[in-house]
Structure 1
Amino acid sequence: MDAQLALTVSQWIANDPDSNTRAQLQTLLDNNDQQSLAKLFAGRLAFGTAGLRGEVGAGPLTMNRLVVMQTSAGLAQYLLDNVSDSTNKGVIIGYDGRLDSKQFAHDAASVFCAYGIKVRLTHKVAATPLVAFGVKHFDCAAGIVVTASHNPPQYNGYKVYWGNGAQIVAPHDKGIAASIDAVAASPIQTLALDNAETDGLLTWLGDDYYQCYREHIASAKVLQSSADTSKVSLAYTAMHGVGAEMAETVLADAGVTQVYSVAAQREPDGHFPTVVFPNPEEKGAMDMVIAEAKANNAMLACANDPDADRFAVAVRRDDGEYQMLTGDQVGILFGHYLLSKADERQRLVGTTIVSSSLLSKIASSLNGQSYTTLTGFKWLMNVAQQLQVDGSQFLFAYEEALGYTVGNMVWDKDGLSALVAFAQLVAELNDQGLTVWDRLAEIYLEHGLHLNAQVSIALKPETPNIGAFLRANPPRDIAGVKVESVDDLSICLRQFTDGRTEVIDLPASDVLIYRLTQGGRVIVRPSGTEPKIKCYYELVKPMATEQSLFDAFADGQQALVQFIQLHQAQLPQ
């Protein structure tokens, strides 16, 4: 075996506190399995703006106790170097119900305490929004949640918030990554949690903290409603995650008493035994909660993902069946509802470039201010904080992947407050003799039926670089519809067909946006390393007053499918 590799593996084993992963690596070393060890030590699990996320395993390319400790040491050193009074401001740490999450969170706490940084650590599993809330509530230097959100059971992650309560963005991501690399070469110092508590470095966040989050939801200005919420009925699933107890509590506080939880999915279980993929967007993931809703003739079938930062809902139709709302549909319903009732000083709403453009039109019609960012709540929340002023405070943001932030209590997506807000929205409609479908029809009649789809296209290995091809051969039309302008975010420039150009105020990103006549749009995110692209489509169709919403959807979806097929046929084969 290569001597340097053997030395690297031996050093890792010496520092690894986990007997299971130590044994796995030692067996490979004893068996002289250079090929397997070379794969495990071919690099390091990359730290980025989402922190860490990967499969749990042995070595530096997976999630394990030593990787978590090294990451915590790097982040601790970065805070000491860049944040004044970081030792006293401290960090808040929480974790979800995955198999290793509690251990990883405790390991992280022991490292921060060893650096002299005070730690507030949840005494049990906590929804991600509760930890994000705590960053600002306690004025912490940073926050950490051990979670892999809605990923499969073999994954875990390490999510980092900055002191403003939002997920980290540049330059902190690269700065923290460099700091991790610097400290990982040496043994990581830890302080036993009992000793840290005795020394005043560790504070356990007990039930009173969870009640604090609950009380903030109950008193939030945007979550006040005079509607009769007792008439709203809903089935709910936590999808084997950590949301059930708090979700049921905050719903009851809001007067929603007809709540039917899916018992088989209520308690945290890192094995996720009843769902193949614990993501409400995945086919079949909502089956049990829809069945629960049918059994109780509930208005809604609602879900949080396993760390409760996302929210999904299916709504009962007149025929008794339930239909999932898309993330965009929930987003535009929220935007319309919140802007219709919000204070005149709280009018700022936002979404991302790949979400529906309809929110901006609703905002314009309701005296709101809208903004658009790159994909991800790290952008939505950091930009919101930059944009809000005294006369235009932040109200709401969403992205199509089932993420919503209602009000400014949490500077990240929050599936729990979204659940309450949606129940209140339905209650207010119900008081007016209307349904969710009625309100959607009203919005589409005013602004046009907006149809959105996302398609990932795998191309042949010999296909040329798609991004380079599209930039060298800009289409004049897509599926027979004229292109009016092209946004090339790699150079942050909008180019109109008449020769005019505009600078785009967004960070550079490998994205092309084609804006079409009739209000349509195609967004292409090409891969620079493989023949694969991700496309986001939006068509806007007028909706006739005599046409039912579901007939309009059916016709629109047929047109959208045809449009997508024609666009794909235009791409190089």
Structure 2
Amino acid sequence: MLTFGTAGLRGPLGPGPDEMNVTTVARATAGLAAWLRDRCLGGGRVVVGRDARHGSAEFAEVTAEVLAAAGFVVIRLPEPLPTPVTAYAVRALDAVAGVQITASHNPPADNGYKVYVDGGAQLLAPADTEIEQRIAASTEPIPRTPVETSGGDVLSRYLARVAQLPQLLGGSGERADIRIAFTPLHGVGGATAVHALGAAGFSDIHAVAEQFAPDPDFPTTPFPNPEEPGAADLLLRLAEQVDADLAIALDPDADRCALGVPTPEGWRMLRGDETGVLLADHVLRTAPADALVATTIVSSRLLSRLAPARGARYAETLTGFKWLARAGDGLVYAYEEAIGHCVDPATVRDKDGISAAVLAADLVSQLRARGRTLIDELDELAIRFGVHLTDQVSLRLPDQRAAAEVVNALRAAPPAELAATPVDYVDMSALRGRMRTDALVFTGDGVRLVIRPSGTEPKLKCYLEAVQPVSGPSGLAAAGKAAEERLSELRDYCRTLAG
């Protein structure tokens, strides 16, 4: 059977209990309903949303009907919508749970079933295994009751909140008009993002026409993830053609946001860590004293240096927003290096590409009014805190078992040196409590490497960081070159791991 991984199910479409189909979805929903009833939440409100992937409409209908037959009040959202809208609806409507049918940025053959619990946060262990036990105990046939669509005002309420973010989070600084190049990568975020940006005052938007309408086949990019090589090529080409100030790419369910920027060498996409620290700094300039910001064990350490300099607290969690959303009291911003940003945790307790896009546009607008750019901001941070270069090496393997075997081999014989630097080694699977996970962390003077198997795909993921002090503005280029050389050595090492 498919098991609950990152907040729910995800897998290829097809027959059988190990793939996504109507029976799998019905059984999962019956298990979820039983788990909710066991917690005295029976009869509560549950939100059901979906994206535009193959099978999503049917899976959402089945989910809603099984929940209704089980006695729940079902809000079945009326159209394909971004995942953050469902997360918002769970919290805004005081629902006991929410289900979004989506496989996020997976290839076209996949679909998934993402679960939110009360408060709008992702499902957290041990609830996943508890639901799996109830799925295994569910019997055929599973009752279903027809459900009409509802919740027609949810999107407008969400958009009204997002439109306020520049004033709520960005402060009252002077703003300049900017031009934006944009793509939703064939997903469901196109119209929602354009509306949100326009309502926030950013109407000069040029979209990649070939990628704007939802298309479950993703014809221009087989791996519809802005981080994948080539996925943002059409966006960057358009940004150069229209002389944009900012390029924005969402993944297909619009919970992730990637930014592209002009540089003297041409347009490039920012890494998730670069965007993460820029948005964190923007939020912290207007945040209350002793606010909390958070990131994950695989992200850059730069936020841990920025936060105290801005009078804020810093927290670090395992990967995934099921952990980040629960980082602690006073959370005002959280990000993970995989271009996930939570800029409004009081409203959406998950990553939200739409609100991140609006806040990024606000930041660029304020910078342009002062004659500055995002690259200028990154350089200033590097001069103060050191160059922090990060990268990810993602190795595709035959299956998830192969990825686990590589990690186990490293666990048995860990390297003592990386990039000509002695490193210490922490096996996080040996830890206790919430920080226990299947990951290896190697740390030395100015180098850091985290290696873990993916929880959703047959991949081995390596997260690299090289840190180099900067003597001053004149030393920035040399420091950047030295950090890149060390990062290159880390890349070379990681590429040997797949044999």
TM-score by length of structure 1 reads: 0.80
Q: Following the alignment from structure 1 to structure 2, what is the Cα–Cα distance between the partners of residues 106 and 394? A: 35
2:419 aligned to which of 470, 479, 482: 479
CA deviations on 1:319-353 (whole Å, 9 max, x unpaired) are 5x2111000100111112211222225x1111110
Do residues 411 (structure 1) and 349 (structure 2) align?
A: yes
Paired letter, 1:541: Q
Q: Following the alignment from structure 1 to structure 2, what is the Cα–Cα distance between the partners of residues 245 and 180? A: 36
State whether residues 178 and 204 of structure 2, in contact with CA within 8 Å, keep that contact through their aligned partners in structure 1. yes
Q: Following the alignment from structure 2 to structure 1, what is the Cα–Cα distance between the partners of residues 459 and 189? A: 36
CA deviations on 1:372-392 (whole Å, 9 max, x unpaired) are 1111111111x32xx20xxxx
Q: Provide the residue aligned with 1:53 in structure 2.
A: 10
2:365 aligned to which of 427, 431, 435: 427
Do residues 524 (structure 1) and 451 (structure 2) align?
A: yes
CA deviations on 1:139-175 (whole Å, 9 max, x unpaired) are 1111000011111111111100111211101111001
TM-score by length of structure 2 reads: 0.92
Q: Provide the residue aligned with 1:278 in structure 2.
A: 224
Residue range with higher mean Cα deviation, 44-53 or 276-285: 44-53
| CA shift in 2, pair 1:214/1:566, >3 Å | closer
User: How many Å apart are 1:213 and its aligned residue?
Assistant: 0.3
SS in 1 for 2:393: strand
2:67 aligned to which of 112, 122, 142: 112
CA deviations on 1:355-407 (whole Å, 9 max, x unpaired) are 101111100111111111111111111x32xx20xxxx111111111100002
| CA shift in 2, pair 1:240/1:134, >3 Å | same
Q: Provide the residue aligned with 1:395 in structure 2.
A: 332
Q: CA RMSD in A?
A: 2.8
User: How many Å apart are 1:464 and its aligned residue?
Assistant: 12
Q: Following the alignment from structure 2 to structure 1, what is the Cα–Cα distance between the partners of residues 459 and 224? A: 25
Q: Which residues of 2 match residues 519-558 of structure 1 at below 5 A?
A: 519-525=446-452, 534-547=461-474, 552-558=479-485
CA deviations on 1:221-254 (whole Å, 9 max, x unpaired) are 6444434545111111111111111111111121
Q: Following the alignment from structure 1 to structure 2, what is the Cα–Cα distance between the partners of residues 216 and 563? A: 42
Q: Following the alignment from structure 2 to structure 1, what is the Cα–Cα distance between the partners of residues 412 and 193? A: 51
Residue range with higher mean Cα deviation, 134-143 or 455-464: 455-464
| CA shift in 2, pair 1:549/1:418, >3 Å | farther
Q: Provide the residue aligned with 1:219 in structure 2.
A: 164
2:52 aligned to which of 89, 93, 97: 97
State whether residues 7 and 115 of structure 2, in contact with CA within 8 Å, keep that contact through their aligned partners in structure 1. yes
Q: Following the alignment from structure 1 to structure 2, what is the Cα–Cα distance between the partners of residues 46 and 56? A: 15
State whether residues 123 and 204 of structure 1, in contact with CA within 8 Å, keep that contact through their aligned partners in structure 2. yes
Paired letter, 2:42: S
Q: How many corresponding residue pairs?
A: 493
Structure with bigger gyration radius: 1
State whether residues 229 and 254 of structure 1, in contact with CA within 8 Å, keep that contact through their aligned partners in structure 2. no
1:147 aligned to which of 102, 105, 118: 102
User: How many Å apart are 1:455 and its aligned residue?
Assistant: 2.5
Residue range with higher mean Cα deviation, 229-238 or 219-228: 219-228
State whether residues 478 and 567 of structure 1, in contact with CA within 8 Å, keep that contact through their aligned partners in structure 2. no
Q: Provide the residue aligned with 1:357 in structure 2.
A: 301
User: How many Å apart are 1:310 and its aligned residue?
Assistant: 0.3
- Give unmatched runs, 5+ long, in structure 2: none
Q: Following the alignment from structure 1 to structure 2, what is the Cα–Cα distance between the partners of residues 464 and 137? A: 40
Residue range with higher mean Cα deviation, 58-67 or 458-467: 458-467
State whether residues 230 and 256 of structure 1, in contact with CA within 8 Å, keep that contact through their aligned partners in structure 2. no
Residue range with higher mean Cα deviation, 212-221 or 118-127: 212-221
SS in 1 for 2:430: coil
Q: Following the alignment from structure 2 to structure 1, what is the Cα–Cα distance between the partners of residues 284 and 313? A: 10
Q: Following the alignment from structure 2 to structure 1, what is the Cα–Cα distance between the partners of residues 385 and 473? A: 16
Q: Provide the residue aligned with 1:507 in structure 2.
A: 435
Paired letter, 1:362: L
RCO higher in structure (CA 8 A, sep ≥6): 2
Identity of aligned residues (%): 41
State whether residues 234 and 258 of structure 1, in contact with CA within 8 Å, keep that contact through their aligned partners in structure 2. yes
Paired letter, 2:14: G
| CA shift in 2, pair 1:508/1:435, >3 Å | same
State whether residues 272 and 337 of structure 2, in contact with CA within 8 Å, keep that contact through their aligned partners in structure 1. yes
Q: Which residues of 2 match residues 135-534 of structure 1 at below 5 A?
A: 135-183=90-138, 185-193=139-147, 204-206=150-152, 208-220=153-165, 222-318=168-264, 321-344=266-289, 347-381=291-325, 383-384=326-327, 387-388=328-329, 393-408=330-345, 409-456=347-394, 467=407, 470-471=410-411, 473=413, 475-483=415-423, 485-492=424-431, 506-517=434-445, 519-525=446-452, 534=461
Q: Provide the residue aligned with 1:80 in structure 2.
A: 37
User: How many Å apart are 1:549 and its aligned residue?
Assistant: 5.8
SS in 2 for 1:360: helix
Paired letter, 2:270: L
User: How many Å apart are 1:429 and its aligned residue?
Assistant: 1.3
User: How many Å apart are 1:555 and its aligned residue?
Assistant: 4.5
